[in-house]
Chains A and B, each alone.
Chain A
Amino acid sequence: MIYFDNAATTRVIPEAAQTVFKYLTEKYYNPSAMYHEALDVKNDLENARSVILNQIGGEGKLYFTSGGTESDNLAFFGTKKKRNSRVIISAVEHAAVYQSAMNLKQAGFDVCVAPVDGSGKIDIEAFSALLNADTSFVSVIHVSNETGAVNDIGELARLTKRVAPRALFHSDGVQAGGKIKIDLKSIPVDLYSLSAHKIGAPKGTGALYAAKGVHLNPVIVGGGQEEGVRSSTENTAGIMAFATAFSAAALHIDESAENLRALSAYLRKRLGAFDDVMVISPEDGSPYILSFASASVRGEVIEHALEREGVLVGTGSACSSNKSTRRIPEALNLQGKYASGMVRLSFSRFSSMAEAEEFADKYEKVYKELKRHVG
């Protein structure tokens, strides 16, 4: 089987699975307890925190959460914002950010959506035009989960601060963490969301980075864990595995990117052979994601036909049968039949050229067959 849906989730790497086992069966103590064993776990937890903070070059704090979605929610709802002030997001945000922004809109905030280009990258000029002194919060995805387009969040944050010095800049880094290098202390990004299960750790763990001086009010209250910002007994097994997987990914970050760039370039060429297939992902984007659209066959149908050949791919959130998911194709300005023809390939650092070749052959076979019937 070929699994090219790693942006949805990844297989847990053996080291991370072993870590989970260890923290479930040996070091299972509640880190808030008073005895030595618990303190030991507490120290491990703090170690994991600094490991991840170091990898993202952060100088502020890192709060563990239940995943990317909770991190995004905490960034939106745990920060102070002037009443009815302006909030800006991009047009291809993940649903966790988009729905959070829609909640703020209902509460009276002036929520603006900055357009993106055909590859999913934010239009900097249009973004700048939306910035005003009344802007209190900006959220722009770092790496688009739909197309792999990489936004220059450093530049966007600087632009924001220039116009609205007190505005907070958040970025959803779920598809970036462990995959592209980042140094948060060198850019004025205030909040950054991470998820564990996109890089070989289990589902159920994530983190929100908050730069120095950024205050967060809790969304979940209780026993006061995570400095009171996120109560609930820490998911130690998940957090430790998160750090394990993150370190492993970071260790191979350049080498993995290089391999995947070659793989992605190869697939671009193979897909380019069809005149009704349009590659959406930009060449300078994350090599972990390659999206394309067909003008002849719906994305969902391609997905199921490939499934029969033992190839698992995604349609992103742009599945045509659900009307609420028109948001992304529209944002990408996909015209005509391309709008329902989107397919997303997403790789892990273990994806190989041999798999890419097998994929391309199978795709060619399946696609020709499907096209015969839709004329």
Chain B
Amino acid sequence: MSVEYNCILIRFGEIFLKGHNKKYFEDLLINNIKSALKPLKYTFLRSQGRYYIEDAADNSSEIVSRLTRVFGIHSVSPAVKVKTDEEELFKAAVAMSPMSGKFRVTVKRADKRLPFTSAEMAGKIGGALLKASLGKLKVDLYDFDFELNVDIRDNGFSYLFYDKIPGAGGLPVGCSGNGMLLLSGGIDSPVAGYLIAKRGVRINAVHFHSFPYTSELALQKVKDLAAKLARYTGGVKLFVVPFTDIQYAIHEKCPESFMITIMRRFMMRIAERLARREECGAIITGESLGQVASQTMQSMMVTNSVVSLPVYRPLIGFDKEEIIDISKKIDAFDISIRPYEDCCTVFLPKNPVIRPRIAEAVEYEKNLDVDALIDAAVENTVEEFITSK
């Protein structure tokens, strides 16, 4: 039962639903697939609601693993492609099947001109397998150990496959526009970025850097996280904002308990400024209700009140454990737990305010030249396009 898979079959999911926008979604998906597979060599074919990768040589497993990270793909299957010819089909079926256990064969026949029905062909292939196994295989259409799928296409070729490897699901990145993610270096924000990207959003990210209070290692950590996200999004435009002067100013002129609240209001304002410049339709954060003092309902209202763009918080109802599960799934967790300080842990007040009021924050900010501080930070922001490694 050794056989060479010479083809990879790609099924896409939700984009079928999108009516006359279908072509737009498909073009985007194909574009994303091609960019995810760069610079590997292969042939891309499309036919009747499916895509096929052929001539991938030794790159098959790498291609499969990359495809499972492209949003919009429902599942992929390594397959054997043969000429639609009974003997060829039997030979391939026998070569790729285990020779004991319970099985079924499912045939789909797109080519209706052929002189047999799908069920007849399934029976014939099943018969060939029974014969080859010398009685060790048994047919069971309902309680089977494995199912051999055979797609007979109308181009004279058939595809045989077993595995359906689940894809990343979601919508092709880009179809929902751009978003600006606040990326800290912790566990939550990369997960938030992943979940929103899954709904078709192209991710830009903004990181606030407090050198010398945070180190170059902390910045590297953020870049490594962005690179993990980029495996799903095709790339992340990262904006690194120098934040130390703003923290100094707040620290000097505002009450200690409001340090975090006012800091976060600055972050939102800067994120919105960059978001509008980059034509983003929303700001994305990793906030989860009640997780820390700055993520209470009141705190989020106070920080939200300085921006007019919508703020997406996909993790708002998640428990930490649930967030960690996704973080591990996208391979970000081990990076997130590297022990470097981020800008929120320096100048951390002993008793942060848990239920701040907007009026108080506005009052304290009168001591600061908010616009000048933001202008300077945005002006000195460094931009870098992060690709997957």
Contact = CB atoms under 8 A, between A and B. Distances in A.
Interface stretch (B82-90, B96-104, B209-217, B274-282): B209-217
A300 B341 contact: yes
B341 A308 contact: no
A223 B74 CA distance: 54
A344 B340 CA distance: 19
A308 B212 contact: yes
A323 B339 CA distance: 9
A98 to B, nearest CB: 18
Interface string B338-355: 011100001000000000
B339 A322 contact: yes
B252 A373 contact: yes
A368 interface: no
B211 A304 contact: yes
B248 interface: yes
A304 B213 contact: yes
Q: Which of B214, B216, B251, B339 has the most CB of A within 10 A?
A: B339
A83 B2 CA distance: 54
A66 to B, nearest CB: 26
Interface string B227-267: 00000000000000000000010011000000000000000
A88 B233 CA distance: 54
Nearest to B247: A373
Contact of B215 (A304, A323, A370, A373): A304
Contacts of B216: 304
Contacts of A308: 211-212
Interface centre among B211, B212, B216, B339 (most CB of A within 10 A): B212
A305 B213 CA distance: 8
Interface in B203-227: 211-216
Nearest to A306: B212
A373 B252 CA distance: 7
Interface string A137-166: 000000000000000000000000000000
Nearest to A324: B339
B244 to A, nearest CB: 9
B213 A321 contact: no
B213 A301 contact: yes
Nearest to B340: A321
Contacts of A301: 212-213, 346
Interface residues of A, number: 14
Contact of B339 (A304, A321, A370): A321
Contacts of B212: 301-305, 307-308, 370
Q: Which of A302, A305, A321 has the most CB of B within 10 A?
A: A321
Contacts of A375: 251
Nearest to A370: B212
Nearest to A300: B215
Interface string A321-358: 11100000000000000000000000000000000000
Contact of A373 (B211, B248, B340): B248
Interface string A356-375: 00000000000000100101
Bin the interface of chain B by size: 10 to 19
Contacts of B211: 304, 308
A84 B340 CA distance: 38
A190 B248 CA distance: 55
A305 B248 CA distance: 15
A321 B217 CA distance: 12
A297 B211 CA distance: 14
Nearest to B251: A373
Contact of B341 (A305, A321, A373): A321
Nearest to B249: A373
Contacts of A307: 212
Contacts of B346: 301
A300 B346 CA distance: 11
Contacts of A323: 339
B358 to A, nearest CB: 27
A321 B343 CA distance: 13
B210 to A, nearest CB: 9
Contacts of A300: 215, 341
Central interface residue in B211, B213, B251, B252, by most chain A CB within 10 Å: B213
Contacts of B215: 300, 304
Interface string A183-212: 000000000000000000000000000000
A78 B211 CA distance: 45
A308 B251 CA distance: 22
A254 to B, nearest CB: 38
A301 B251 CA distance: 16
B67 to A, nearest CB: 38
Interface in B309-348: 339-341, 346
B183 to A, nearest CB: 19
Interface in A291-312: 300-305, 307-308
Contacts of A302: 212
A2 B340 CA distance: 25
A28 B168 CA distance: 53
A86 to B, nearest CB: 34
Contacts of B248: 373
Contacts of A304: 211-216
B388 to A, nearest CB: 28
A308 B215 CA distance: 11
Contacts of A305: 212
A129 B100 CA distance: 72
A308 B252 CA distance: 23
A349 B213 CA distance: 31
A321 B345 CA distance: 10
Interface string A29-65: 0000000000000000000000000000000000000
B222 to A, nearest CB: 15
B262 to A, nearest CB: 16
Contacts of A370: 212
Nearest to A305: B212
B208 to A, nearest CB: 16
16 contacts: A300-B215, A300-B341, A301-B212, A301-B213, A301-B346, A302-B212, A304-B212, A304-B214, A304-B215, A305-B212, A307-B212, A308-B212, A321-B340, A321-B341, A322-B339, A373-B251
Kindly list the 3 A-B residue pairs having the minimum CB-CB distance in the complex, ordered from nearest: A304-B212, A305-B212, A322-B339
Interface of A: 300-305, 307-308, 321-323, 370, 373, 375
Given A304-B216, A305-B212, A323-B339, 8 more contacts: A303-B212, A304-B212, A304-B214, A304-B215, A308-B212, A321-B339, A321-B341, A373-B251
